[in-house]
Amino acid sequence: MYKILHSKVSSLYYRQAPTTGIGIFRILFGLVTLQEVFFLLYFNHLIFDPIPFLDVEFPMIPFFLCTWAIIATLITLGYHTQKAIIANYIYWIVFVNFTPMQRDFDGGFDLFMIGANLFMIFMPIDKAFSIDNLKHKLANPFKHYSLYPKPTVSILSYYLPVIICLGFLYFDSAIHKMFSQHWRNGLGAWLPSSIPYYISALDMSWLLNIEQLQKSIGYLILIFQFSFVFLFRYKKLRPIYFIIGAGLHAGITITFNIYPFGIGMLIFYSLVVPFSWYRKIASVLVAKTPRLIVFYDDQCPLCSKTILILNHFDIFNCIDFKSAQSFAHNYPALKNINQTILLTDLYALNNNNVIFSGVDTYCQILIKMRYTAILGHLLRFPVIYQLASRIYRNIADSRARIPCDANCAIPPVTNNSPTMLYDQFFNPSSKRIEKHNIHKLSKILLLLFLLQLNSSIHYGLFYRIKPNISPTLITNLIAKVSNSFVNYSSVFVGITPHALYLDDHFKGYNHLIALTYQDQSGNEKWLPFVNPDGRLAAPNWGRVHSMWANIAVTPNIDNHRLKKFIMKTTAFWGIKSGLNLDTTTFNIKLKKISAPDNWSPNLLHSNLSGSWSTIGHATWHNKDISIHIPDNINTL
């Protein structure tokens, strides 16, 4: 097995691919992390306080979340990416495993993000759309941007994260699904879409009522997940797997209220996009000919650095930057401008032979780059324009010129980007080290494969057949060792069972619980949590949804856990809503729903339209809560 893996790694190690997908993936990963940190900041007291607002156990949590937001921003911008991605990995591990997020507020995608983050430490995430790449160019300002070749990376940078983070996850999930009746009936997507707790604000009942379509989607998911890891990389099949996978996760994002899980998986499809698609998109978006030509003094370090910066952000190649010394007088419109004057400012020439200089040149550059056009027009506003002109003049008149000899005019061409762990694996200094790295990669991949195999067998098979096997000393020992490996691989690598939305989750899920309160006039009002339909109201989605729909309210409700989350929810949303907890009575409401294994028409509307009954009350007094509910809600 190792020989086969080593042979495959060796063949792919040398194949090169563009960096576009890697750069887009880094930006999207940073944005997903950033939005999740903002979510944690908003629900800080609900998630981390033993009693929201009333008993603050971790007062430094907002500070650490703000530093995490800064780290996520650095990843998005591609600034100090190596340090930022390592710090981000540590933050994910600490928050997921050492705070209430670990059990009570599972986001559904936390371990997936840990695994993705681990791979990013070794990926060339700084080679496209990054400030780090720009810093590398600025270290040699006299080297024209056109001398830098387009960076490429080993195709393994695309394949390995997709195989481990998506392929293994899908295959493991499919194994678990085969033990679930409603998945075997083709209703795996239809059933959770018909439970009010799980859906977004969109009414998708028109789609859910097409039985054959829903069953087709259910079986398509099973086929897709079983086959993805084996077939996605084939050139002719890759577009099919991209469209199906991206479509399924986009559907999860917009139709379920677990949107972080949907977009967390969806961003990986920037690595699945066929490379030819990126080239075709570029051919449409990139300008065929420059819309503006800018002339600059190539013996001025400040001018040269400015040009490198502007070109870096000119992602559609709309601007062409040329040396005033070499090219300016090849253009008739500039022949009347003295050479000395031409070198004092940035001059620009548009396609209509209109000449611009100074701040007007910057306005035109921003406008012609398209996505920065609003900044260009804003710069032309009165007061802003005069202020910018004064600043520009002060800088331009004080700049220094350095005569450029042959060494600085044509520096050696290099494709090296800022040093990353990726470079140690894929840009070694010798063939001997290269062969050693291939062996090392093969061994690491074999270890990851065995860890995933252990998790899938432990929970997908052994865990399910264990009740039918008489325990022995050997089986108990194997189970303990296997479980230990699962624990470590889950915490540090993100390899975990993906037994999501199976029979044990929905069988008996026939009730919803909501919270209302009496206002000063005695009128009953709904907390901004579960609405009268039974949906979880925004922004109570993601990990807050998981807290209520997966832990507090389950097929077999545990009163102790339910009371805990009633306490947290009434305290958080009561205080957020401006209520005086000591004078407010909270009503605990229950509504019956249905979660069948077989097809049932209009199930969503039926579950949304049921009536509520009051089954208990909750009252606060001096930071203590008294909750009165039936001993066994499951029998109501």
- Spatial separation of the C-alpha atoms in residues 165 and 520, rounded to whole Å: 52
Cβ 248 vs Cβ 221: under 8 Å: yes
Q: Which of 23-32, 365-374, 476-485, 619-628 has the lowest mean pLDDT?
A: 476-485
Shared domain check, 228 and 157: yes
DSSP reduced 3-state for 152: strand
pLDDT of amino acid 406 = 47
The answer to whether residue 426 is domain-embedded is no
User: Quick one: tokens of 549?
Assistant: 């729909």
pLDDT at position 400 over 90: no
Shared domain check, 445 and 514: no
The answer to whether residue 499 is domain-embedded is no
The H or E element spanning position 504 is helix 503-506
pLDDT band at 411 (very low <50, low <70, confident <90, very high): very low
The answer to whether residue 417 is domain-embedded is no
The answer to whether residue 82 is domain-embedded is yes
Which CATH number does the domain housing residue 372 bear? Answer: 3.40.30
Shared domain check, 320 and 180: no
Shared domain check, 260 and 296: no
Shared domain check, 319 and 267: no
Task: Report the percent of the chain where pLDDT is more than 90.
Answer: 65
Cβ 134 vs Cβ 80: under 8 Å: no
The answer to whether residue 56 is domain-embedded is yes
Shared domain check, 577 and 539: yes
User: Quick one: tokens of 68?
Assistant: 């995490």
Residues 69-96 have pLDDT tens digits of 999 999 999 999 999 999 999 999 999 9
Shared domain check, 293 and 269: no
pLDDT of amino acid 469 = 67
Enter the pTM of the model. 0.91
pLDDT of amino acid 147 = 81
Q: Which of 3-12, 241-250, 619-628 has the lowest mean pLDDT?
A: 3-12
The answer to whether residue 372 is domain-embedded is yes
The answer to whether residue 281 is domain-embedded is no
Residues 157-173 have pLDDT tens digits of 999 999 999 999 999 99
Shared domain check, 346 and 439: no
Shared domain check, 519 and 475: no
| Number of domains comprising the chain | 3
Cβ 256 vs Cβ 143: under 8 Å: no
Residues 166-199 have pLDDT tens digits of 999 999 999 999 989 999 999 999 999 999 999 9
Residues 306-358 have pLDDT tens digits of 999 999 999 999 999 998 877 777 888 877 777 777 777 889 999 999 999 99
φ, ψ of residue 357 in degrees (nearest 5)? -145, 160
pLDDT of amino acid 412 = 45
pLDDT of amino acid 381 = 95
Cβ 265 vs Cβ 274: under 8 Å: no
- Spatial separation of the C-alpha atoms in residues 374 and 514, rounded to whole Å: 46
pLDDT band at 534 (very low <50, low <70, confident <90, very high): very high
The answer to whether residue 319 is domain-embedded is yes
pLDDT at position 628 over 50: yes
Start-end of H helices in 286-353: 301-313, 324-327, 339-342
**Section 476-505 average pLDDT:** 84
pLDDT of amino acid 505 = 87
Cβ 506 vs Cβ 496: under 8 Å: no
pLDDT at position 463 over 80: no
pLDDT band at 65 (very low <50, low <70, confident <90, very high): very high
Cβ 123 vs Cβ 72: under 8 Å: no
Domain span at 571: 507-635
The H or E element spanning position 544 is helix 543-545
User: Quick one: tokens of 567?
Assistant: 């306490």
Shared domain check, 366 and 469: no
pLDDT at position 376 over 70: yes
Shared domain check, 252 and 135: yes
